[in-house]
Amino acid sequence: MAKWTAQFRGPLDAALVRCLAILLVTNSHLDGLYPIPQLATGGALGNALFFAASGYGLALSYKSAPVSFPTWYWQRLMRLYPSVIIVMAVFELGILRGWSHWTLGDYGEVFLWPTPAWFISAILIFYAGSYPFMRLNNRAVYLWGLAALGALYVYSYFTQVDLTRYSIEGATRFKWIFYFALMLVGGFLAARDSLSRAPLARDLWIAVCLLCAYFGFGYLLSRGYFTAYQFAMHLITVPLVISVFKVSKSDWLKRNVARSRIAMNAVLLLSGVTLEIYLLQFYVYSNPAIASLPFPANTVVFWILLVLLAWVAATGASWVRGLLPRRLSPIDTKRNDV
């Protein structure tokens, strides 16, 4: 088996977006560790960044090495499932004693689909839907796909969403429409390298303004105001995600991150184990021993343990892939795209 590292091996701008995404997603789950629960926010924005980054990275990877759908989809399954199986076997089956009461169907639901992580069940479907767009690599086709999803979004919004409360990011699958659209937005940006190099100051200013609008309107929604217009959160998210992508491509930002070995290694490590962090975070922050620690010791111990376990899980997943014949596991060794 080839030598492997958990560090992200794609371009630095993609690593920065993935790193920010997993930090936001994880932070949104730490309300039980913070003295002010409201600090645990940003999860929906993190999800949006991650799906867009996935669409962007996958489209670029496919352009450099186009393959048939069965081979491409197999690559994606082998990127996801070794980590899923390791984490679920240790925690759901072992520590939480699933073996003592699971039925055969429970094994399928935990290890195959939908799994306890909604992201896995969603992206497996998004993969299949995004492949034709990547294969055609045509911006007009992407725009037609986004228009169709927009029509479906509007119809579902007025027929399925509870507009009396903030619910578009709830447990229903309505949000899947939006996140698949963001995956196509990522592919659209990659189709003809649509991320222009505008001055960093302008991109930063736009990103900050959109970020203030995002969290400001989100606060109002959490207080029960304007819930009939909650779709505006998603409208703000799209240009915000694009502006974050543009900022990440700044030569100034990448140069300053690269100057610090600590910062560079931290970004590459976190962006390389985003999947494992996502799968593991619940089991770590819900641990009574961590929850009983005072703030900020609880968050420090949480992050150290989470990243360590994620690195171990990612290393184990790489070992599992190495056991498979390469003709069945043609993993792209140049990128960590999900």
Tell me: the pLDDT tens digits for 39-72? 999 999 999 999 999 999 999 999 988 999 999 9
Domain membership flag for residue 160 = yes
Domain membership flag for residue 223 = yes
Domain membership flag for residue 135 = yes
Tokens describing residue 82:
């070794």
Per-residue b or e along 98-117, where b marks 16 or more CB atoms closer than 10 Å to that residue's CB: beeeeeeeeeeebeeeebbb
Q: What is the pLDDT of residue 102?
A: 96
Q: How many domains does the chain have?
A: 1
Domain membership flag for residue 6 = no
Domain membership flag for residue 337 = no
Mean pLDDT score across all residues of the chain: 92
Domain membership flag for residue 266 = yes
Domain membership flag for residue 134 = yes
pTM: 0.93
Read off the pLDDT of each residue in 73-80 and give the average, rounded to a whole number: 93
Helix and strand totals (H; E) in the chain = 14, 0
Residue 338 has pLDDT above 80, yes or no: no
For residue 30, give the amino acid letter: L
CB count, 10 Å around CB of 36? Answer: 8
- Residue 300's pLDDT band, with cuts at 50, 70 and 90, is very high
Q: Say if CB 115 and CB 84 are below 8 A apart.
A: yes
Higher pLDDT, 221 or 323: 221
Residue 330 has pLDDT above 50, yes or no: no
Q: Residue 194's domain spans which residues?
A: 12-323
CB count, 10 Å around CB of 264? Answer: 16
Helices 118-136, 139-160: axis angle to 10 degrees equals 150
Read off the pLDDT of each residue in 194-205 and give the average, rounded to a whole number: 77
Closest CA to 242 of 216, 191, 207: 207
Q: Say if CB 187 and CB 53 are below 8 A apart.
A: no
Domain membership flag for residue 5 = no
CA distances from 279 to 26, 80, 105 (A): 10, 10, 21
Read off the pLDDT of each residue in 160-183 and give the average, rounded to a whole number: 95
Residue 17 has pLDDT above 50, yes or no: yes
CB count, 10 Å around CB of 288? Answer: 6
Contacts (Cβ under 8 Å, ≥6 apart) of 72: 62, 131
As a whole-number percent, the residues of the chain with pLDDT over 70 amount to 93
Read off the pLDDT of each residue in 112-126 and give the average, rounded to a whole number: 95
Q: Say if CB 271 and CB 8 are below 8 A apart.
A: yes
